[in-house]
Structure 1
Amino acid sequence: MGAWYLLGWTVEWTRGIPFPLPPAVFERFWHFLQGELLYQSPVWEHFWMSLKRWGVGYGIALVLGFGLGVLCGRVSWLYGAGMQVGGVLQLMPGLAWIPFAMLLFGIGEKATVFMIVITAFGPVFVHTASSVRQFPQHHLQMARMLNLSRMRTLGMVVLPALAPSLLLGMRMGLAVGWRVLIAAEMVVGSSVGLGSAIIQSRWSLDFEAAFIAIGLICVVGIVSEKYLFGYVERLLHVRMGSAGI
């Protein structure tokens, strides 16, 4: 908080322009919570619409990434080509997909979801394919020797071995998907969403609204990264430790 005040006072002193300080931003946020509209829509509607697009796009990316990753990991002649495609997708900046999104879907919801899918897919696919490809086959042989059923083999042998790499791919896909969502809402999205609120605040010079939207974006990132995936990682470490993996 102190750094925020220091930055604001420095900008006002050096540039001679007002800088939104915490009291004004929090007071404005309280007004939004009380019903004041943020560009013709409640602030919670901007928030939930962004989460909805993110969830839909990320869910599609997970299904495609896991499915194609397992296929390429198990089929040798597909692995090389698939990993090259996945590597290229990871190197492509999210904003570079804007022309493709506009050509395929125009402006709106579908274009935004497409950009999330195409950017989140790469990390999920690459980590899934590589982990399946490198899975130690002697683990399966040991499971057969112990007469484990397919479900027990999957739950006790396969998933614990693949989980760290799969979780890393999911984490990376979630992060890049969230970042490109905000950029997509600014360019190809509809009039409702956190990214849309930020770009509209630019034209109206409503920097308090922009700070509020940025704050909500940070909250989502912190919760998903520190608490959601942090909890899953701790649970995984405990499970692997108890299993002696």
Structure 2
Amino acid sequence: MNRLWEWYAGDNDSRIARYASNRKDDSEYIEMPNNRPFDFLKSVFIFFAGLAIILAIWQIYAWWANEIDGSLLAFPYPMECVERLIQYFTQEELIFGVPLIEHVQASLGRWFEAFFMSAVCGVTLGLIIGCFKQIYPIAISSVNIIQMIPGAAWIPVAILLLGIGDAPAVFIIWLISFVIITINISGGIRRIPEVYLRAADMMGANIFMKLFKVIIPFALLDTINGLRLGMGSAWRVLISAEMIIGTGVGVGFVISELRGVLDYVGAFACIMIIGMIGLLIDKIVFVNIEKYVRHELNLDEDV
């Protein structure tokens, strides 16, 4: 039975340890190259290469719009936005009476509160409807109906339910990311081959053993992907909600107000902040979690 659980978990560490304990001499050692410095430099290069492509397209289009097309409103250049961004942070310039850093903190606070609640609710509901075949068709249909409605369409409902302020924005973020997480987790559980569950039943496993030894390990990558997609959707919906709902403070609110006074350089500078925050959260948190899980499940492509 223990061998079955070990196989489910996909962990080779114990087998490697047994081989190392049975070796006769040092001649059986195999030199394994350490590619971590190269992998890190490769990741940095890929990141800056992608960033350079975006900035190059931005620069070319801004030049074409301003110099060739001759539009009435000047299209901001990348360096103008970078300079404005530095100015916002170094000179503590107020944007509608509030420093930019406080707008960022307000947005992050709303995002964290909503995403934490959606992660808890989505993981719980995803496990329930994924494990019980009887309720899956009805429950997933209801969840899919909610998914079909865009986040902006929920704004009137949120305002009627919760009024103006932080609450409706948090509600919309929670709803959208909650649905995405639920669908991914329940779908991951439904992909578990039935033979695995029958084998666990034959070996006398109870519901908790099947949950922690079979179901969760098998659906773990789908869970991480669901949380990752939910995080991205939550961040995007947050900015949209702040632009429409009168939050009074937040990055989305700032972009909307700067657009109203035709300060597109400042608006583009705030858009850069949105992209950088989302990228940092994804690359620092979820990419590392996914790498760790893939290693534990013996799914590393490099191994």
Shared fold per TM-score greater than 0.5: yes
Quote the offset at 1:133 in angstroms: 3.9
Q: Is the 8 A contact 2:85 2:270 kept in 1?
A: no
Residue 76 (structure 2) pairs with residue 20 (structure 1): yes
> C-alpha offsets along residues 107-148 of structure 1, whole Å, 9 cap, x if unaligned?
110000000011111111112223334434654565678788
**Which structure would you say has the larger Rg?**
2
- AA partner of residue 86 (structure 1): V
Which of 62, 65, 82 aligns to 1:8? It is: 62
SS of equivalent residue, structure 1 residue 92: coil
In structure 2, relative to structure 1, the CA distance for the partners of 1:182 and 1:6 (3 Å cut) is: same
- Identify, as 1 or 2, the structure richer in helix: 1
Match of 1:171 in 2: 228
When residues 46 and 233 of structure 1 are mapped into structure 2, their CA distance, relative to the original with a 3 A threshold, is same
Share of identical aligned residues, percent?
30
Q: Does 1:103 align with 2:103?
A: no
**Is this contact kept in 2: 1:112–1:189, CA < 8 A?**
no
Matched AA of 1:231: N
* Unaligned 5+ runs, structure 1: none
Equivalent residues in 2 for 1:29-40 (5 A)? 29-34=85-90, 35-40=92-97
Aligned: 1:241 with 2:298: yes
Query: Residue type of the partner of 1:221?
Result: G
- Mapping for residues 145-160 of structure 1, pairs under 5 Å: 156-160=213-217
2:176, 2:230 within 8 Å by CA — same for their partners in 1?
yes
TM-score normalised over the length of structure 1 = 0.88
**Contact kept? 1:11, 1:17, Cα under 8 Å:** no
The match for 2:115 is 58
**Any idea what the Cα deviations from partners look like across 1:44-87, whole Å, max 9, x if unmatched?**
11111111111111111111111122222233332111100111
Residues paired across the two proteins, number? 243
Q: SS of the counterpart of 1:220?
A: helix
Q: Give 1:193-204 correspondences, 5 Å limit.
A: 193-204=250-261
**Superposition map of 1:33-48 within 5 A:** 33-34=89-90, 35-48=92-105
Deviations 1:200-237 (A, max 9, x none): 01111111210111001111222233342222222222
The separation in 2 between residues aligned to 1:99 and 1:213, in whole angstroms, is: 26
CA distance in 1 between partners of 2:238 and 2:268 (Å): 17
Deviating more after overlay: 134-143 vs 49-58: 134-143
CA RMSD in angstroms comes to: 2.5
State whether residues 58 and 78 of structure 2, in contact with CA within 8 Å, keep that contact through their aligned partners in structure 1.
yes
